[in-house]
Structures are given as C-alpha cells and as structure tokens.
Structure 1
Amino acid sequence: MAARPIWSGVVSFGLLNIPVSLMSGERRTDLHFRMLDCRDKAPVRYERINAETGEEVPWSNVCKAYEYEKGNLVVLEKEDLDAAAPKGSETVEIEGFVELASIEPVFYEKPYILVPGKKADKGYVLLRETLAKTGKAGIARMVVRTREYLCALLPRGDALVVMLLRYAQELVDPDEYRLPSGKSSDYRVSAREVEMAASLIDSMTVAWEPEQYRDEFRKRVRSAIDKRLKRKGTTTKKIPDEAPEAEDAATNVVDFMALLRESLATNKRTPARKQAVSRKRAAPAKKTSVTTARKAVAKKAKTASARKTTAKRAASRTRKAG
C-alpha cells in the first residue's frame, strides 16, 4: 500500500515557499498483541466503566479533568480546550537557522521526511543543498493535527528531514540527580587508567553502520509466533496494493534569485499563501463508540431473549413428560 501524507503544506523562510508533503520517517516494528480470556479465547475489551455505578460510559458523556493536587480535580470544558488548541496552519515556518552540531541528541524526538510537491523540486534542492553546505539546521514550528511542534529541518542524503524536537522543559536537568562532579583525580582516577581506557576504546572503535544492529527481542518473539502458526495452522488474507501514484518531475519556475535578494534586503517573512497547497481531506472517521455500545446492548438483549425462549421450551417439555 502506498504511503499517504500525514500533512501537506509549505516550508517558508524569507519570501520563499516550498510546497511539501510530510511523510513518516520511521517504520515501527513493534509486535502488537491482543488480550484473550485463556478459558475460551474470547477477546478481552477495554471499556470506559463508571467507578461508582459499574456501568459503561459512552464517549458523549466523557469529559476531561486535571488533577491539580492529590484527590482534587478541575473539570475542563470543551471551549477551554478549543481556546488552547493551536490554530491550523499549512506552513513549516522557519524562525531561524542554527549550527546543526549545536543541537544536543536528547532534543531529537521523531523523524519525518519532507517530499516536494509538484513543481517544487528547485526550491527543495536549494534549501537542502544550502543546509548541507553551511552545516546549519532550520528551527521551525508546525501544527500537525491538533498540536503545535517545535522542529528542526536538516538534510539527509537527497531528503529534507523534519526532526520533531523536545522542548527544554521536557528534559530533566541532570543536576537534579546525585552525580560525581569535579576532577577525575578527586576519585583517584590516574592518568594511566585514562590512557588504558582510551586505548581500549580505540581498539573497539568501528564504523557506524546502523543496519548491522537489529531488534533481537522482536526477532525471537517473531520466531516463536512462526512456530505457533506452523503447529496450529492459520489462514491469511492479503489486502491488494493500491496503484502507485504517477510521478511528476516538473521543476519550479519561480525566480528564486529575486526572492532571495528581496528576503536579504527586507529581512522579513511573508505568510505562506493558503492556495499554494490544497490541504488533504481527513480520512472518514470510524464509527463512534456510542454506535458500538448500542449494538452491544442490542446483541445482549437478543441473547437474553433467546435464553428465555429456550428455558420456556425446556420447562414445557418437562411438564409434558411428567
């Protein structure tokens, strides 16, 4: 199945706007399991249960609350959350450029790949090559779905990668923990020991080849699953792949030199045009939990009715036999 864009919009810096699509930059390989009742292998469901009545609560009756202190909650209304939510935008607006090496690894959270839109190849390549040549990263903000993210744009081969960044307030300051500080001599670490440790590190130094490292736990669990499938047998259903989209290798005919000159002269940005990129329509929502709950109730009622009918028939046969 062809990958679908998570978000479509433009990268904006100075007066330049580059139409792009945001694609996932990671492939999750976690194995997801379903919970079953071991007695009859029936699925175990997660339900919203009222702690006081024991009854299931439909989504329409669920609200959010914040526990501001132990045991005390403040309820937030929908309008409170709507007012706090970021306004939708189709722009990755670069606020500035920093040295790529100055971003500590702990700030990186999740990668995405930017794919140029139609006739946007020239602007895409211009930004990518300039970032690679200068060793800089663009720091920007972008809204994906209902949340605003801080992110960094950086080159990786032929791609422009968006790395979601953690905010500084999300990181724990190491000073909060008891750590050995001061000089190595304060801990009786000798110069000879440092020299020997450095020699050991040199002897174990290899080229960084990430493809050599595999998730061994997943591999062992996958092997166990395959053995079970061979023992018990199973059926599979293949979902047909979607037809690949046609490629468009057209290049941008915008006068980038003029825009760059004007951006440098004015040192100002202009907001990206809304009509530059048509926003992807959201996928149709799944059926609500309320509908599911109603079906479950109807099914239970039907089952109960069938049981009563069976009981009446059994009682009638018993009376006739007597």
Structure 2
Amino acid sequence: MAASKKGAIAFGLVYIPVELYAATRQEEIRFNQLAKESMSRVRYVKTCPSCKGELEPEDIVKGYQYEKGKYVVVTNEELDSIKTEKDKAIAIDQFADRDEIPPIYYQKSYQVVAQDGGEKALELLRRAMVEKNKVAIGTTVMGNSEDLFALVPYGDELALITLFYESEIRDMPKTERHPEISDKELTLAENLVEQLERPFDPSEYKDTYQEKLRDLIQEKIEGKEVVAPKESGGKPSNVIDLMDALSASLKETKPKPKRSGGSRSKKAAS
C-alpha cells in the first residue's frame, strides 16, 4: 500500500518522520451504467469543444478562471514549489481533550506509521497523549489544501483524522430542538439505554445489505427469479404514544451479555 503522505510530525523543536496510510476503504457494490437497448457500457469521454477530439489524461492541464473565458494554467510542479517545509510538516499547534471536538468535524482517518529513526519519538508522543488523555490538533498541506487534523491515540496506535473547518459546517435547520420531557419518560429512556449498554466491538457489525445485494446478483447470474422475503409483523405506525413505545422496547429488547473488561477491541479509542 502506497503512503498517502510522507512528512514529519512537528511540535516544539521535535520532528518525527512519519508516513500516513489511508485507514479506511469503501466496500459497497458499484454498478455500471448500460445503454438499455444494446447493453453496452456507457462511456464518459472528455472532449475538446474546439477540435471535437477525445482527450487523454496527458492532454489535460489545470486552469483557474480569473475572468470569464480567461484562464491561467498552473502545473503540479508549480503547486509543489510553493509548499514550504512548514506546509509539508504535520504541525501540532495545541493539545486538547478529545470531547472538545464535536463529532460532526471528523472527516477522514489515516494510520500514522513512523519512518526509520522515528519510532521512539512517535511512541513517546503517543504515550504522553495517552497519559494526559489528550489529542493533538494542527494543520498540514495534503494535495492542494491545508487540512486541519487531530492526532488521536487508539489502542497501541496513532491515527490522524482530518477535520472540517468551522466554515465548512452547515447551520442546522431552525426547529424546536429541546422540547419538555417528563421524569417518567426520561427514566424509561435511561433504562432502555442501560439495557443495550455494552463495550463497542466493531467485529459485531457487518454490512448485511451488501451481503443481500451480492446474493441478489448471484441469483440473477444463475437465472433465478428474485423474490422479496416476507417480513414478520407489519410496518410500525407513524403515530404512537412515546411512553408505550419505550415500555414495549424494554420488554422486547434482549440485551447481549456484557463482556468483561480487557476484551475491548484494539480499534477502540484509548
């Protein structure tokens, strides 16, 4: 796997050479678009409006429109030339409590791996953050933008999570967000939370819809008729008394046994 970025974590006068590797991948099934009559795959061809010819990747350059119909061309080499060592560094500006970062700010995760010679310094940084229960916040240039990030210890590892800037977070719709609730309603809701409480284990969760989608595709390949499964029970009513719903949930919900401490997944945050 190729590194997404090579650089150095910088805080104070300490530089730790590291590499970043994309920590996640998407596994959903992707469909191609086909012409309905010929069943040929639809192509998306890049063409030049002037010469009408098809363009190859090497025929395309980056251009910024500064006036209508007027562009200035910028090459990848020119973009790299304006990056200073500070831009290339993963510069830590501060340390903070993790719960100070609203979850809506989290964007994309990377694994942080020390380059040769940086192992001890990276482990020292991780251990210090674990002991103080802090995450590191700073900026680095990735691609053509300066990204805000959080360095987050988890298990024995360190992750870099890019964050949205405040200006990128959309305002929530203006609605009545905090209506009055009764003590009895809150007690029932708390009981339901306690009943479903257990340590998070990511291995318990799988994309079951993708599994059903793969089965559907295989049945289509084999020429079988696709029949929708019958669901037990009817659809829930849109109008239901909240107290009745909470009480019924407590009766029907069967909590999974809580696992003893120490079996917590390595992937869970420290």
Q: TM-score, normalised by structure 2?
A: 0.69
Counterpart residue number, 1:198: 190
How far off its partner does 1:195 sit?
Answer: 2.1
Indicate if the aligned counterparts of 1:86 and 1:143 stay in contact, CA closer than 8 A. Answer: no
Which whole-Å deviations, capped at 9, do the CAs of 1:156-213 have from their partners, x for residues lacking one? 1121100010001111122xx22215661xxxx3222222222232223333222212
Between stretches 117-126 and 84-93, larger displacement belongs to: 84-93
Q: Which runs of 5+ in 1 are unaligned?
A: 233-322
Inter-partner Cα distance in structure 2 for 1:26 and 1:207: 22
Q: Which runs of structure 2 are paired with 1:12-27 in the superposition (5 Å)?
A: 12-27=10-25
Counterpart residue number, 1:160: 158
Counterpart residue number, 2:146: 148
Aligned CA distance change for structure 1 residues 154 and 62 (closer, same or farther; 3 Å):
closer
Inter-partner Cα distance in structure 2 for 1:200 and 1:42: 53
- Within the candidate set 194, 199, 219, 1:207 is matched to 199
Which whole-Å deviations, capped at 9, do the CAs of 1:123-162 have from their partners, x for residues lacking one? 0110111111111111121122333211111111121100
The 3-state SS of whatever aligns with 1:111 is: strand
Q: Which runs of 5+ in 2 are unaligned?
A: 225-270
- Within the candidate set 219, 227, 250, 1:227 is matched to 219
Q: Relative to total residues, which structure has the larger helix share, 1 or 2? A: 1
Q: Which runs of structure 2 are paired with 1:271-286 in the superposition (5 Å)?
A: none
Aligned CA distance change for structure 1 residues 80 and 116 (closer, same or farther; 3 Å):
closer
Inter-partner Cα distance in structure 1 for 2:120 and 2:107: 29
Aligned CA distance change for structure 1 residues 86 and 152 (closer, same or farther; 3 Å):
farther
The 3-state SS of whatever aligns with 1:223 is: helix
Counterpart amino acid of 1:87? K
Indicate if the aligned counterparts of 2:4 and 2:22 stay in contact, CA closer than 8 A. Answer: yes
Between stretches 20-29 and 209-218, larger displacement belongs to: 209-218
The 3-state SS of whatever aligns with 2:186 is: helix
Counterpart amino acid of 1:204? L
Inter-partner Cα distance in structure 1 for 2:179 and 2:212: 44
Aligned-residue CA RMSD (Å): 3.3
Indicate if the aligned counterparts of 1:65 and 1:73 stay in contact, CA closer than 8 A. Answer: no
Q: Which runs of structure 2 are paired with 1:84-123 in the superposition (5 Å)?
A: 87=83, 89-123=87-121
Aligned CA distance change for structure 1 residues 146 and 216 (closer, same or farther; 3 Å):
same
- Within the candidate set 204, 208, 218, 1:216 is matched to 208
Q: Which runs of structure 2 are paired with 1:1-322 in the superposition (5 Å)?
A: 3-48=1-46, 55=52, 58=55, 60=59, 75-79=70-74, 87=83, 89-174=87-172, 177-181=173-177, 184=180, 189-230=181-222
How far off its partner does 1:228 sit?
Answer: 4.2
Inter-partner Cα distance in structure 2 for 1:213 and 1:30: 15
Counterpart residue number, 1:287: none
Inter-partner Cα distance in structure 1 for 2:167 and 2:22: 25
Inter-partner Cα distance in structure 1 for 2:7 and 2:61: 33
How far off its partner does 1:56 sit?
Answer: 5.1
Aligned CA distance change for structure 1 residues 178 and 76 (closer, same or farther; 3 Å):
same
Inter-partner Cα distance in structure 2 for 1:75 and 1:212: 55
Inter-partner Cα distance in structure 1 for 2:203 and 2:162: 23
The 3-state SS of whatever aligns with 2:200 is: coil
How far off its partner does 1:79 sit?
Answer: 4.9
Aligned CA distance change for structure 1 residues 80 and 226 (closer, same or farther; 3 Å):
closer
Aligned CA distance change for structure 1 residues 120 and 79 (closer, same or farther; 3 Å):
closer
Indicate if the aligned counterparts of 1:86 and 1:146 stay in contact, CA closer than 8 A. Answer: no
The 3-state SS of whatever aligns with 2:32 is: coil
Q: Radius of gyration: which is bigger? A: 1
Aligned CA distance change for structure 1 residues 84 and 125 (closer, same or farther; 3 Å):
closer
Instruction: Give the % identical residues.
Output: 25
Aligned CA distance change for structure 1 residues 118 and 75 (closer, same or farther; 3 Å):
same
The 3-state SS of whatever aligns with 1:78 is: strand
Structure with more contact order per residue of length (Cα contacts < 8 Å, sep ≥ 6): 1
How far off its partner does 1:214 sit?
Answer: 1.6
Indicate if the aligned counterparts of 1:86 and 1:148 stay in contact, CA closer than 8 A. Answer: no
Indicate if the aligned counterparts of 2:61 and 2:75 stay in contact, CA closer than 8 A. Answer: no
